[in-house]
Structure formats: C-alpha cells, structure tokens
Structure 1
Amino acid sequence: MNKDIERKVIAILEILSNYTEPIGANTISEKLLEKGIELSDRAVRYHLKIMDERGLTKVVGKKGRLITEKGREEIKKALVADKLGFIISKIENLAYQVTLDKSTGKGTVILNLSVIPKKDLKKALNIMKDILKKGYGISEKIIIFDEEEEEISPGVFVPEKSVIIGTVCSVTIHGILIKNGIPVSAKFAGVLEVKENEPIRFLEAITYNGSTLDPLEIFIKSRMTSLSSVVKRGEGKVLATFREIPNSAREDAQNIIEMLKDIGIKGKIYLGKPNQEIFGIPVTQETSALVIVGGLNPIAGIIEANIEAENKAMSILYNYEQLQPIKEYL
C-alpha cells in the first residue's frame, strides 16, 4: 500500500478511535477535513472497505464502522516519523484556545481526563486532595463525570461502573501567558526530585519535539513518581514541565502567576532567573526558565496506591467556572 493511502487509513483509524459508537462515512469525511485531508464520502467508503478486509474496522449494520483491536494496534505502529512533533503541536493549539481570564476566573481551561473505577472514587479523592493541598497540581478545583454513558465531549463517554475525573492541565498556564502577550516555548516534561519539600533537580526528561506520546503519561505508566512520599515526608519524585519565556517578559509573567492564585490556580510554579539554569537544566540565552508542576500529579498519586486509572492528558477545553474544589466532592 502506498504511503499516501496508508496515511489516510491511519487518519481514519485515529478518528474512529475517538468514538465508542459506530460512525459513518459522512462524519469521517468531516473529521478528515479538520485534519487537512479532503476525501469525499465515496472515497471514505472505498478506504473503509480496504480497512474492513484488513480487519482494522468492522461494520455495525447501517450505523457505520467501529475500530477493532487490530486497528488500534495499527495506530500505535504506523508512521512514527509522521507523529514526531505531534505533542508540541497539540500543546500550541490547545494553549491558543485557552480563554481563562486571570482577573475574573471565567473562561476555558484545558482538562486532563482520567477514568477510574467508581468503587475507588472516595479513596482516590482523598489521595488527590492531599497532593493538591501541597501544590503538586495546577488547581484544587476539579470536575467529576459520574453518569454512565454520559457524553462529556464528542466521542468521549463515561464507561460503565467508572467515573471520569477532570484535572486542570499545566498547558492552561501556557495558554494564559500567551493570551496576555507573553511568548512561551515548551521544551520538555520530566521527573523532578524533591528534598525537604524543595525541588532539587530533574532526574528524567522527555522533549516534546521528540515524543509521539505525552511524556507525563509515559512517566506515570512507568511508575516513576513517589507523590505519597513527597506528601508525607517532603521528599520523592514528582512530575513537572519545563518552558522558557523571554527575559523581557519575566516581570509580567511573575505578576500574572501571582494573580492566578486569587482564582484558584495555586500549583507550584518556579520562575528562573534570567539566563540561569534551574534544577540542573540550562536555558537558551535571553530567556528565563518556567517550571510548572504536572497537572497529572494527583493521578500519579492514586496509581501509586494501586488504583487503576486510564489517562488522557490535554484532553478537552472546559469552562473553569464549572469546576468545584475537590473538598466539595468528599
């Protein structure tokens, strides 16, 4: 199969992977156009027929197609080179869409979504509360979707016997700074060592440009955090992201970060000195480092406690006003 057709097949599979219900050629054609691929309904049906024969999709009556497990595996294997840079592009696109006003606390933020068993919710919330209280998350405000089969975003449904927890993503800070005229360059996400309640150095890092997956999800799946130890003893490993801003914008950035505390964005943020390294990482000349704790730290903490969680970082845009302090759910 030539590379052009293969790219279209993968694009269709990626669209189908976002849906739990079958969809038809018309919907797929519309979603492909959003990806910059123009295919008529007829052309989509042609590709779907090929995909059916390969076992990548299956027909569900007249409703349309569903992706198969083989199709999901194909996404993971296919065209890795094409996916390089996907994460940084996603960050920039989502950050641009953040509308949260630093003064009023109204507008959209980016949420990470995590699916956990409903039976473990109370235990999970208590763990998350302690982590957020220590500042190892972006905001103590969260949202819980607990109505089974509720569609919280196109193609995103609450699974049976599960709940979805939405936590504020660190890219929200990126977006707020951009909205206020401050250029931000996202560099990497990593594992940050903490001793005596203070960050010491980055132990691990994955650059956004060099990864096809969200780095924080990789670290969580690899069990590389120790949030429980950080909360109880003030030492351990947490997730954090590393960015750079121009030195000329440093003072404005500092003022914005302080203002955000008044609207509940109180997570730990470290602004480096101009042209100086921070936590063992040098910066580009004429820039200052901006280290923001990972929004998925609370979820990493519940996974440490052996609670199953399926995470999707940088998942959806959501109105910040609809989030509630975590204590309201306990």
Structure 2
Amino acid sequence: MNKDIERKLVAILEILNNYTEPVGANTISKKLVEKGIELSERAVRYHLKIMDERGLTKVAGKKGRIITEKGREEIKKALVADKLGFIISKILNLAYQVNLDKDGKGNVILNLSIINKKDLKKSLQIIKEILKKGYGISEKIIIFDKEEEEIAPGIIVPEKKVIVGTVCSVTIHGILLKRGIPLDAKFGGVLEVKNHEPVRFLEAINYNGSTLDPLEVFIKSRMTSILSVVKNGEGKVLATFRELPNMARDDTEKVIEEIRDLGIKAKIYLGKPNQELFGIPVTQGSTGLVIIGGLNPLAGVIESNIEAENEAMSILYKYEDLVPIKDVIN
C-alpha cells in the first residue's frame, strides 16, 4: 500500500486509540489537522472503509468507529522508521509543559504503573523505601483506584487493578528549561553503584535513535538491582544523562538546591566542565548532568516479582495534588 496512505491510516488509528467511545469522521478530520494531515470528512470515511476491511476498526452504529485489538497491534508495528526520535520529541514536548513554581504548584510529569489491587500494599512499601533513599524523584505519589475511571485520554483504571503515579525525571529537565537552562538529553542507562556511590554507566540507549523509552527497556530486560542498592549499597540503578553549557553550570547548581525545598530529593550529579561523568565523555564546552531515573521505584516492584505494567512519561499532573507516600502507607 502507498506509504502516504499507510501513514494516514496509522494517524487515524492513533486518534481512535485515544478515545473510549466511538469517534466520527468530523472529529477525526479535526484531530488529523493537529498531526499535520489535512483530510476532508469524505476522505476520512474512505480511509475508515479500508481500515474496516482490514479489521483495524469497526462501525459502532451511527456514532462512528472504534479501534479493534488488531488496530492497536498495528500501531505498535507500524512505520518504525517514522518513530525514530519519538522519545526525544516526547521528552522535549513534555518538559516544555512542566511549570512547577517555587511554591510547589504546577504541572509535573508522572510515570504510571498498573498493579493488581492485591499487590498494592507490598508495592507501596517497596516504592517508599526506594524513594526514601533518593532513587526516585519525589516522595509524593498519586494512586488512582477507581475502576473504569479515565484518568487521562485513553488511560483507564482496569478492573481489579490500581494505577500508581510517581514523578518522572523529565520533570527536572522541564524545571531547568523554565529557568532558562538549555539541556541536551543524551541517553537513558544502567548505572553501577558501589559503596552507595555511582561508579560508571554499564549500559546506555541513545534517545535520538530509540522508539522506546530506554529505562522501560532495561526494566523489562531485568537489568536492574535497585533493591540491592537500597539494602546493601551495591548494584545497578536506572539513570539519565544530559549535557548543559558550561556557562549554565552555576545556575543549574542553584536550581537543584532550590527544588530540594519542594520535596524533590532525587540523586542528581552535576559534572565538572569538559570532564567525563561516570565514564561518559561530554561535548567540548559542556557539563554532564546525571539524574537518577524516576522509574527506579517501579523497577523495584518488578524485581520483587510483582506483576506490573509501567509507562514512562505518561501524563502531566498537578504537583500540589500528589500525596507524600508516608501518608499513604506507614
């Protein structure tokens, strides 16, 4: 099939995937414009007919179409080349929307984890211990436990499960950006820790060439040992690597100190100008910045053989509406 048509079909599927109810051609046409695609309602209906025939969508009465399971699978497989660089784009777009102010109010980015209700208490205990040691971004979390509640477009609390939200490390990227500090997000990796101190990166996946979040990949591959780090001070944790201009180093240091008062206790390591950081060389004129990954608490849940489905950089949420985890579980 023509590649241009294929792109349009995938774009329509992505739109349908964001809705829980049937969607009509008029709405789809308007949403396509936001993706840079102009299709009339008539043209949308033509594409929908093709998708119906392929089993990617199905008619839901006069209200419109809904996506099928086959359609969701198609989104995952479609046009990998077009998705290269998707993660870095997602980082930049979400970081731009972070507006946490000095009073601790405003949007932050959350990672989400879907957990069985029966495992919630044990999971929270694990998350609490990891956050207490600074291997997460903030000790404030949110729990969505109302079944079938749509907490964001396309994100619904499944039956007999809960969704736990923890602060994502890209939030810090956004805070620095808002303070006028330009950052270049390089990669997500696995950082070796010995005697409670980070030593070197063992694995890394560059954001620019990835269609998946690197830290999610490392979690699924069971490449972390965050529980060992928390208990014994040795093991492997998730971390992200960025570069900033040398001229912005002092300002960055000040901002990092300021956000500590907001309850952002993450382990953050600021390198020296033009010098490598944990074995990673930096571009001349730059300083390395390593931020402990916000997915570490969720990695700990997986390490404990608790079934969980994690999604990094999932939604924006008001920081003031999050709750200290110590108030949720003793």
> For the superposition of Structure 1 and Structure 2, which TM-score range results when normalised by the shorter chain?
over 0.9
Aligned to 1:126: 125
| Whole-Å separation in 2 of the counterparts to 1:40 and 1:146 | 40
- Displacement over 4 Å in runs of 4+: none
| Whole-Å separation in 2 of the counterparts to 1:171 and 1:313 | 10
Taking the TM superposition and a 5 Å limit, the aligned residue runs for 1:295-306 are 295-306=294-305
| Whole-Å separation in 2 of the counterparts to 1:212 and 1:256 | 31
| Whole-Å separation in 1 of the counterparts to 2:298 and 2:21 | 27
Aligned-partner residue type, residue 77 of structure 1: K
Aligned to 1:278: 277
Give the C-alpha shift of residue 280 in structure 1.
0.6
1:68-124 CA-to-partner distances (Å, cap 9, x unmatched) read: 2322222222211111111111111111111001x2111110111111111111010
Change (3 A) 1:21 1:222: farther
Aligned-partner residue type, residue 94 of structure 1: L
| Whole-Å separation in 2 of the counterparts to 1:90 and 1:225 | 24
> TM-score normalised to the size of structure 2?
0.97
Structure 2's unaligned 5+ residue stretches are none
Aligned to 2:318: 319
Aligned to 1:187: 186
Aligned to 2:60: 60
Taking the TM superposition and a 5 Å limit, the aligned residue runs for 1:1-330 are 1-101=1-101, 103-330=102-329
Identical counterparts, % of pairs: 80
- Give aligned pairs, total: 329
| Whole-Å separation in 2 of the counterparts to 1:146 and 1:159 | 9
| Whole-Å separation in 2 of the counterparts to 1:7 and 1:204 | 33
Query: Residue 28 of structure 1: SS of its match in structure 2?
Result: helix
User: Is the CA contact 1:19–1:156 (under 8 Å) kept in the aligned structure 2?
Assistant: no
Query: Residue 62 of structure 1: SS of its match in structure 2?
Result: helix
| Whole-Å separation in 2 of the counterparts to 1:64 and 1:236 | 52
User: Is the CA contact 1:128–1:299 (under 8 Å) kept in the aligned structure 2?
Assistant: yes
> TM-score normalised to the size of structure 1?
0.97
| Whole-Å separation in 1 of the counterparts to 2:287 and 2:149 | 43
Between 81-90 and 14-23, report the one with greater CA deviation: 14-23
| Whole-Å separation in 2 of the counterparts to 1:33 and 1:325 | 41
Change (3 A) 1:27 1:161: farther
